[in-house]
Chain A
Amino acid sequence: KNEVEQSPQNLTAQEGEFITINCSYSVGISALHWLQQHPGGGIVSLFMLSSGKKKHGRLIATINIQEKHSSLHITASHPRDSAVYICAVRRLKHGTASKLTFGTGTRLQVTL
């Protein structure tokens, strides 16, 4: 079993829909990242969370440390939101720098 599991793997939505992508993890962490990767493109950091909730525009990220679970929500989805969304966890620090473990990503397609 992977240490970081995302669901769903693939998601198709119509423009305007509310979208939720889930991330569950099985290790102790100090922080969780949500990343966005457009087709053929680079990777952009959306959020870094260690507790609670963060909001940026139409994107909302939440984390429940006790339940080892995080969600990424997109309100009023738009075709430009079509991308792969990746969850990554920073393991509790050991040595000089803690490392990230990545999920396999959720591929989102938003249609008109």
Chain B
Amino acid sequence: NAGVTQTPKFQVLKTGQSMTLQCAQDMNHEYMSWYRQDPGMGLRLIHYSVGAGITDQGEVPNGYNVSRSTTEDFPLRLLSAAPSQTSVYFCASRYIAGTGELFFGEGSRLTVL
């Protein structure tokens, strides 16, 4: 099992550029989510999805877009990158029912210049 796969691991962007962080899971999890991790702060929820075709906003959604066309994939799009979006991004997934154990990707470190 690959678990949760995130790409790329590192990315440097210039202000105004757009990019997509990819997230895929092979555990048939209904729930997928994106978090950002900043120094001195807890992980913060950007967007989440409870199934294909269903997405919703988290705490810090501005500047990010998501879609969920399949159960496996949940890409995060930065529409016009800003220095404030410099962060480490984590994708995570879980079953909605059951133990609720959360499975994380390895993280993507994004720097916006």
Contacts and interface: CB of A to CB of B under 8 A. Distances in A.
Q: Do A and B bind each other?
A: yes
Interface of A: 2, 4, 31, 33, 35, 41-45, 48, 86, 88, 90, 95-97, 99-105
A99 B44 CA distance: 10
20 contacts: A31-B100, A33-B102, A35-B104, A42-B104, A42-B106, A43-B107, A44-B104, A45-B101, A45-B102, A48-B100, A88-B42, A90-B100, A96-B50, A96-B96, A101-B42, A102-B35, A102-B44, A104-B40, A104-B41, A104-B42
| A-B interface, 5 closest residue pairs, ranked by CB to CB distance from nearest | A102-B42, A43-B104, A42-B106, A102-B43, A96-B50
Interface of B: 31, 35, 40-45, 48, 50, 54, 56, 58, 90, 92, 96, 99-107
Contacts of B103: 45
A85 B54 CA distance: 31
Contacts of B102: 33, 35, 45, 88, 100
A105 B42 contact: yes
- Interface SS of chain A: strand
Select the residue from A2, A42, A90, A101 with max chain B CB neighbours within 10 A.
A42
A94 B1 CA distance: 31
Given A42-B104, A43-B90, A99 B45 contact: yes
A31 B100 CA distance: 9
- Interface centre among B35, B40, B100, by most chain A C-beta atoms within 10 angstroms, is B100
A8 to B, nearest CB: 15
Given A96-B50, A97-B50, A97-B96, A2 B42 contact: yes
B106 to A, nearest CB: 4
A91 B105 CA distance: 23
A41 B109 CA distance: 11
Nearest to B90: A43
B42 A42 contact: no
Nearest to B101: A45
